[in-house]
Amino acid sequence: MPASVSLSLSLPLSPTARSDPSVAASPFGAFRRSGLRFCGLRREVLSLRSLNSEASGRISPYPARGLSNKVLAAAKSNGSPTKGFDYDLVIIGAGVGGHGAALHAVEKGLKTAIIEGDIVGGTCVNRGCVPSKALLAVSGRMRELQDEHHLKALGLQVASPGYDRQSVADHANNLASKIRSNLTNSMKALGVDILTGVGTIVGTQRVKYGKVGFPDTEVTARNIIIATGSVPFVPNGIEVDGKTVFTSDHALKLEWVPDWIAIVGSGYIGLEFSDVYTALGSEVTFVEALDQLMPGFDPEIAKLAQRILINPRKIDHHTGVFAKKITPAKDRKPVLIELIDAKTKEPKDTLEVDAALIATGRAPFTKGLGLENINVTTVRGFVPVDEHMQVMDADGNLVPHIYCIGDANGKLMLAHAASAQGISVVEQISGNNNVLNHLSIPAACFTHPEISMVGLTEPQAREKSEKDGFEIRVAKTSFKANTKALAENEGEGLAKLIYRPDTGEILGVHILGLHAADLIHEASNAIALGTRIQDIRFAVHAHPTLSEVLDELFKSAKVNVGTSPSVSEPVAV
């Protein structure tokens, strides 16, 4: 059997709330030792007919290939809890992270319950990545239809394109509803008990839940996972009315399309909404506290993204400024935004716009959890955890049987990271040592074209190389040299590799271009599995495909070690 090695790597918290550096957000994702699950919406969701048929003894024409007899048996009984407990595992929060943990727990034969006080799916499904992708799908189509030069180059002629706002909004809402239903049904089909109400920790192995105005119910569990997620962060001085000054929660409803909208924050949330609004006809003004747009991205990628995604569109920007005060529109007066210098705090300007979207990051949703009952003090709202996601108390000691995953712990604030952390925790409580390699987790910004990344940025890599005493190199390839991209007339784009020439270790990969969000996974898989450049460069890619951008990228790297293909021991992370 091949040796199994666990790695523990973590990224520093990155402030995205420009007016409050204590609020962290990180666009990254997930890895599991026995298989990669980059989206928390796993294949069991799509195998419900098969599972229900199996559980009822009927033969289904749609075999659930991913579900073993063991899982099917567990679905019928939801396991048998450890003696003396109601459940083996209770999860507080039924977002993508809690869902991923629950399904994996059933696979492990654990009797599992999940507590949800709102609706299944959490932020990602209901107010985040799922409905936003529906809106971005519309904006992508609109851009194609509006680009006369692009269409002419392909020999196409299209009449003036238009859209129906309500139908666009319905598309996003219907998608969220469908995925939410799938998540709920997948847990029910596998036998997960869904307990409705607000969950509160009473002790290390006791949780109560209930609705406001009704008596609470207490249950016991051998282990507890906190998966309560996050909410939009709104800096002081900003008055949100949900109509003319709003967060991403409100924007996803697309109740109207303003002629001129200010977006406060130029991270991936702000960028994606700028893509949507400009495609639908709005003018956009970015307000960014730092001195450059897109501060969380690799600087070279950010510079290229500004040239492609910002400059040609109806977008202007103010950098190095805070929005000290934002007043909603009322009495036929516009939204007022008072800007001050981020360093000197001196007044800079006042903007009058039709609407303002607050995209200054997210804050953990951890109040009311009963953490004081287990001597846990949050840090800027985040629940402190170790590398195994086990909760740490105010004295720095591990709290037995209690774990925290996802946005609530602040390590990597993305849905697929939460799911991966949940799976890792289930492995831990099942007796299998498992530490998630956070540097292998990919991230994506679904603009047109897309941006994706995994690992370190070039400045981060150079800082690490100077500290640890090794050399780094950078390789780049252009989409303009890719046949498939040129066939699509989408040659704008760049792929960038940061690596160690002495070992062939991949430190980071950054892509801007057509389907970058799909392409990044070859790189993230390589980092997760410990695959070196001297090995992956011999992988074969179909021609002509966009994947050849990565093929050329790895082949262009100059490593100082052997260049013959070899069989490497897998690295479990």
Domain ranges of the chain: 73-232+364-430, 245-360, 439-556
The pLDDT profile of the chain, 573 residues, written as one tens digit per residue, is 344 333 333 333 333 333 443 333 333 333 333 333 333 444 444 344 334 433 333 333 333 334 445 555 555 556 677 789 999 999 999 999 999 999 999 999 999 999 998 889 998 999 999 999 999 999 999 999 999 888 999 999 998 899 999 999 999 999 999 999 999 999 999 999 999 999 999 999 999 999 988 899 999 999 999 999 999 999 999 999 999 999 999 999 999 999 999 999 999 999 999 999 999 999 999 999 999 999 999 999 999 999 999 999 999 999 999 999 999 999 999 999 999 999 999 999 999 999 999 999 999 999 999 999 999 999 999 999 999 999 999 999 999 999 999 999 999 999 999 999 999 999 999 999 999 999 999 999 999 999 999 999 999 999 999 999 999 999 999 999 999 999 999 999 999 999 999 999 999 999 999 999 999 999 999 999 999 999 999 999 999 999 999 999 999 999 997 655 444 444 443
The annotation status of 296 as a binding-site residue, yes or no, is: no
Strand positions, DSSP E, 205-354: 206-210, 217-226, 230-232, 245-247, 260-264, 283-288, 315-319, 321-327, 335-341, 347-353
* β 390-392/398-404 pair status: antiparallel
Taking residue 39's Cβ as centre, other Cβ atoms within 10 Å add up to 16
CATH class entry, domain 439-556: alpha beta
The annotation status of 128 as a binding-site residue, yes or no, is: no
Q: Compute the distance between CA of residue 306 and CA of residue 118 in angstroms, rounded to an integer.
A: 38
Given the residues 99, 150, 401, 543, the one annotated as active site: 543
The annotation status of 228 as a binding-site residue, yes or no, is: yes
The annotation status of 3 as a binding-site residue, yes or no, is: no
Q: Is 448 a catalytic residue?
A: no
The annotation status of 84 as a binding-site residue, yes or no, is: no
CATH class entry, domain 73-232+364-430: alpha beta
Asked if the domains 73-232+364-430 and 245-360 are classified in one and the same CATH topology, the answer is: yes
User: Contact at 8 Å (CB) between 325 and 238?
Assistant: yes
Angle between helices 129-146 and 268-279 (to 10 degrees): 40
Tell the residue number behind the tokens 């001195």, with chain if given: 291
The annotation status of 93 as a binding-site residue, yes or no, is: no
Q: Exposed (0-12), middle (13-18) or buried (19+): which is 84, by Cβ within 10 Å?
A: exposed
User: Contact at 8 Å (CB) between 517 and 452?
Assistant: yes
The annotation status of 95 as a binding-site residue, yes or no, is: no
CATH class entry, domain 245-360: alpha beta
